[in-house]
Amino acid sequence: MIRAVLFDFGGVILSSPFDAFSEYEERNRLPDGLIRRINQTDPDTNAWAQFERGTLTPAGFADLFEAEGRKLGYSVDGRKVLACIEGDVQPEMVQAVRRVSDLGLVTACLTNNVRSWETAPQHIQEIMELFDHIVESSALGVRKPELEFYEHALDLLAIDASEAVFLDDLGVNLKPARAMGMTTIKVLSPTQALDDLEAVLGVVLM
C-alpha cells in the first residue's frame, strides 16, 4: 500500500532547467549539452555536487564551475548558469500535491537544492508549505542519488520504501530509490507524470 508520495522540485514542481541551459548555450555559441556535460564530469565531487551539499557559496560555485568548463576548453559564466535553475511553476503538479494530501497520503519534497526554501521567493515558500516534509540536500550535506539522502527521507516519514512513490525527472536519482523498493516515476511532462501517478494510486487526481 502506498502511504506517501515524494516529489522532486526542479523539473517536477518547477519546469526543468535543461531548457534554460540550452538557451544559455545557444546565446553564447556553446555546444548543446555542455552544461550537463560539465555536471556529469566527476559528478560526486564537482562544483554542482559540492554546492548542493551546502559546502560552497554561490561565488565559490561560480569560480569552480568556470574552472571545470575551462578544463573542457570552454568559457562559461557560473553566475548565469546558476540563474538558469529558476524554473517556472507547473500548476498541474502543485494541484497534484494538494490532491494527494486531500486523499490522506503523506507528501514530501525531496530536492537537491543550493539554498534553503525559507529564503526563496514568496510564491515558492507557499508551494513548499503544502508538503508535510521537506528533505533538502543543502541542509543535510548529502544529495540525490546518495543512499543516505533516501534513508533520511524514509526515516523522517516513518515509512518503508515499498510504501512510497517517488517522482523525479532524472533517472540517476530514481535508480537508488527503485533499488530500495520505492515505486518510481520518471517525469517527462506534467500530463505523463500525473497519468502514471493516477495509475499507481488508483485514483483520479485532476
Tell me how far CA of residue 167 lies from CA of 11, 66, 75, 137, 174, in angstroms.
Answer: 10, 31, 34, 16, 8
Q: Kindly state the helix (H) or strand (E) to which residue 142 belongs, with its residue range.
A: none
- Judge contact between 144 and 7, C-beta under 8 A: no
Residue 197 cell numbers, joined:
501517478
Q: For each of the domains in the chain, give its residue range(s) and CATH number, in order of start.
A: 4-15+87-201 (3.40.50.1000), 18-83 (1.10.150.240)
For residue range 117-131, list pLDDT tens digits in order. Answer: 666 788 888 999 999
C-alpha to C-alpha distance for 19 and 23, rounded to whole angstroms: 6
pTM over cut 0.95: no
For residue range 46-88, list pLDDT tens digits in order. Answer: 999 999 998 998 899 999 999 999 999 999 999 999 888 888 9
Name residue, grid cell 529564503. 119
